[in-house]
Amino acid sequence: MSTLHRVRVDLDVRSYDVVVGRGAIRELASVIPADVKRVALVTQTSLPIDVRAELPAEVTVSRHLIGDGEQHKSLATIERLGDEFAAAGITRNDVVVGVGGGMVTDVAGFAAASWHRGMRVVHVSTTLVGMIDAAIGGKTGVNIAAGKNLVGAFWQPAGVICDTAFLDTLPEREQRCGHGEMAKYHFLTGDDLLALDLDARVARCVKIKADIVGVDERESGRRAVLNYGHTLAHALEIATEFSMAHGEAVAIGMMFAAHLAQALGRIDAARVAQHRTVIADHYRLNIKPPKGVQRVELIELMHHDKKAVDGLTFVLDGPNGIETVRNVDIAAVHQALDALSVP
Which of 5, 64, 234, 306 is catalytic? The answer is: 234
Strand partners, 61: 39
Residue ranges matching CATH 1.20.1090.10 in the chain: 228-339
pLDDT band of residue 140 (cuts 50, 70, 90) is very high
pLDDT band of residue 242 (cuts 50, 70, 90) is confident
Q: Are 177 and 243 in contact (CB under 8 A)?
A: no
Looking at residues 101-129, what average pLDDT do you find?
97
Amino acid letter, 249? A
pLDDT for 222-240, tens place per residue?
888 999 999 999 999 999 9
Closest CA to 40 of 95, 86, 87, 91: 95
246 among known catalytic residues: yes
**Residue 38 per-residue DSSP state:** E
Q: Using CA atoms, how far apart are residues 158 and 205, in angstroms rounded to an integer?
A: 19
Looking at residues 24-43, what average pLDDT do you find?
96
In the predicted model, is pLDDT for residue 159 greater than 90?
yes
pLDDT of residue 310: 62
CATH class for the domain made up of 228-339: mainly alpha
Closest CA to 273 of 263, 262, 288, 289: 262
* Total Cβ atoms within 10 A of residue 23: 14
Contacts of 90 (CB under 8 A, 6+ apart): 38, 40, 62, 96, 115, 119
Per the document, the length of the chain is 343
Which of 27, 174, 219, 248 is catalytic? The answer is: 219
In the predicted model, is pLDDT for residue 147 greater than 90?
no
Looking at residues 287-311, what average pLDDT do you find?
84
Distance set, CA 159 to CA 9, 29, 89, 122 (Å): 9, 10, 23, 5
Which of 27, 143, 174, 181 is catalytic? The answer is: 181
181 among known catalytic residues: yes
In the predicted model, is pLDDT for residue 309 greater than 80?
no
Looking at residues 58-77, what average pLDDT do you find?
95
Closest CA to 275 of 264, 292, 261: 261
pLDDT of residue 70: 86
pLDDT of residue 245: 86
pLDDT of residue 222: 86
Looking at residues 162-191, what average pLDDT do you find?
92
Which of 58, 117, 172, 241 is catalytic? The answer is: 117
Which of 5, 139, 201, 207 is catalytic? The answer is: 139
139 among known catalytic residues: yes
* Total Cβ atoms within 10 A of residue 274: 16
117 among known catalytic residues: yes
pLDDT of residue 305: 73
pLDDT band of residue 106 (cuts 50, 70, 90) is very high
230 among known catalytic residues: yes
Residue ranges matching CATH 3.40.50.1970 in the chain: 5-172
pLDDT of residue 173: 87
The pTM is what?
0.89
Q: Using CA atoms, how far apart are residues 159 and 25, in angstroms rounded to an integer?
A: 12
CATH class for the domain made up of 5-172: alpha beta
In the predicted model, is pLDDT for residue 42 greater than 90?
yes
Q: Are 96 and 108 in contact (CB under 8 A)?
A: yes
Looking at residues 205-231, what average pLDDT do you find?
92
* Total Cβ atoms within 10 A of residue 252: 25
Average per-residue pLDDT for the chain: 93
Q: Using CA atoms, how far apart are residues 115 and 336, in angstroms rounded to an integer?
A: 43
Which of 148, 246, 266, 306 is catalytic? The answer is: 246
186 among known catalytic residues: no
Give me the percent of the chain exceeding a pLDDT of 70: 98
223 among known catalytic residues: yes
